[in-house]
């Protein structure tokens, strides 16, 4: 397989990026610590991935991703009241606190405390970026063909051939 010249399916893309939400920089990576992902394999959020197709090394782009194609809309069913009796032992709830609790089925859920009453705590289990528009400034800093093993796994391996 020849080396790729543009972002396309099954190409390993090195991406420098800056993520801004509500005017605040949440995450960034420069050319030296660029994000590597396997294009077309759902390694990154779909709203960003589709905008990167066809870009070449050195190309930059600003991409705005709405919640539907980012981390989803805020779901009111993901906001739940938890009895203080079921609250993890030894933790004093505070508004804004982020913690993991178990649901009725014993699954771990990560959420934030929205409100506290005498006998219950209201928690928001939506992703922290749900309902938000994600603003990306991206630059393609490298492209290479994926190895057969990477294609089989659907993700990028490190320089030593192992998983990140």
| Chain positions contacting Zn ion, by CB under 5 A | 153
Question: What's the closest the beta carbon of residue 152 comes to Zn ion, in angstroms?
Answer: 8
Residue with Cβ nearer Zn ion (144 or 153): 153
| 3-state DSSP assignment of residue 96 | coil
Four-residue CA torsion sign, 112, 128, 20, 22: negative
Residue with Cβ nearer Zn ion (18 or 157): 157
Question: What's the closest the beta carbon of residue 156 comes to Zn ion, in angstroms?
Answer: 8
Q: Exposed, middle or buried by CB within 10 Å (0-12, 13-18, 19+), for 48?
A: buried
Question: What's the closest the beta carbon of residue 158 comes to Zn ion, in angstroms?
Answer: 10
Residue with Cβ nearer Zn ion (99 or 145): 145
Question: What's the closest the beta carbon of residue 155 comes to Zn ion, in angstroms?
Answer: 5
Token output for 16: 């420098």
Question: What's the closest the beta carbon of residue 8 comes to Zn ion, in angstroms?
Answer: 20
Residue with Cβ nearer Zn ion (127 or 153): 153
- Can you name the residues that pair with 79 across neighbouring β-strands? 124
Residue with Cβ nearer Zn ion (36 or 126): 36
Query: Rounded to whole angstroms, how far apart are CA atoms 29 and 27?
Result: 7
Closest to 42 in 3D by CA, of 156, 157, 163: 156
Distance of CA 80 to the CA centre of its chain: 23
In this chain, which residue has its C-beta nearest to Zn ion?
A: 153
């Amino acid at each position: 397989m020849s080396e790729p010249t543009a972002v396309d399916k099954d190409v390993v893309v090195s991406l420098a990026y800056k993520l801004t939400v509500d005017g605040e920089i949440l995450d960034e990576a420069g050319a030296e610590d660029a994000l590597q992902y396997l294009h077309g394999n759902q390694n990154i959020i779909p709203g960003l991935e589709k905008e990167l197709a066809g870009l070449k090394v050195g190309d930059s782009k600003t991409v705005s991703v709405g919640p539907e194609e980012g981390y989803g809309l805020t779901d009111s069913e993901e906001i739940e009241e938890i009895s203080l009796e079921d609250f993890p032992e030894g933790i004093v709830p505070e508004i804004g606190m982020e913690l993991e609790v178990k649901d009725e089925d014993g699954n771990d859920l990560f959420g934030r405390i929205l409100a506290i009453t005498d006998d219950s705590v209201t928690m928001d289990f939506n992703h922290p970026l749900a309902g938000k528009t994600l603003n990306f400034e991206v630059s393609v800093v490298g492209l290479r063909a994926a190895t057969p093993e990477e294609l089989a796994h659907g993700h990028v391996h490190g320089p030593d051939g192992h998983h990140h």
